[in-house]
Amino acid sequence: METAHMATPLGIAKLEGDEQGLCAVSVLNSDLPLDPIIPEVLEDAVYQLQEYFEGKRKDFSLVLNPRGTAFQKRVWEALQHIPFGRTVSYLELSKTLGDVKAIRAVAAANGKNPLWIIIPCHRVIGSDGSLTGYAGGLHRKKWLLEHESPVQQQRLF
């Protein structure tokens, strides 16, 4: 398993993967000295994330290999179909997966998403439009949704 770290506007991102694909992307709550050497198997993931943060990328084209249960993987697959700049509620996501009663299990699987940003769990909100639960912190979820918003707030001064 190879590891790389990269600076993002939201903190240091840690990427993990191997020849079978990208296994994990997480944001750290601490600063690390960054190693300028990126393992070859992670170069494309680092490049695509940089493009995302620069506003040049809306979709990722990476081989993913997240570790989880079959149900978690179904939820993570469904998350990848939420378009850039859009949100869905946990209830809508549960309906998409065919079981409205599974809302808590869907929310739990969403919270276990190992591929920060790549699998866009930040695009899932409460039924009332509220920013609910986000492992990376609600301030990061808010930033990501604003970054992806098709309507950018203009400054008056």
pLDDT digits (tens, 9 = 90+) for 44-77: 999 999 999 999 999 999 999 999 999 999 999 9
- Distance, CA of 25 to CA of 13 (rounded, Å): 7
Handedness of CA 57, 58, 61, 62 (dihedral sign): positive
Catalogue the long-range contacts made by 74-78 (C-beta closer than 8 Å, 24 or more residues apart).
74/109, 75/106, 75/109, 75/110, 76/109, 76/113, 76/115, 76/119
Which residues on adjacent β-strands are paired with residue 124? Answer: 88
pTM of the entire predicted model = 0.90
- Encoding tokens for residue 29? 């709550």
Active-site annotation holds for 121: yes
Catalytic residue among 4, 121, 124, 144: 121
- Encoding tokens for residue 153? 């707030």
Residue 156 confidence class, pLDDT cut points 50, 70, 90? low
pLDDT at 150: 81
- Tell me the domains of the chain and their CATH numbers: 2-53 (3.30.160), 70-148 (1.10.10.10)
Mean pLDDT of 21-41: 90
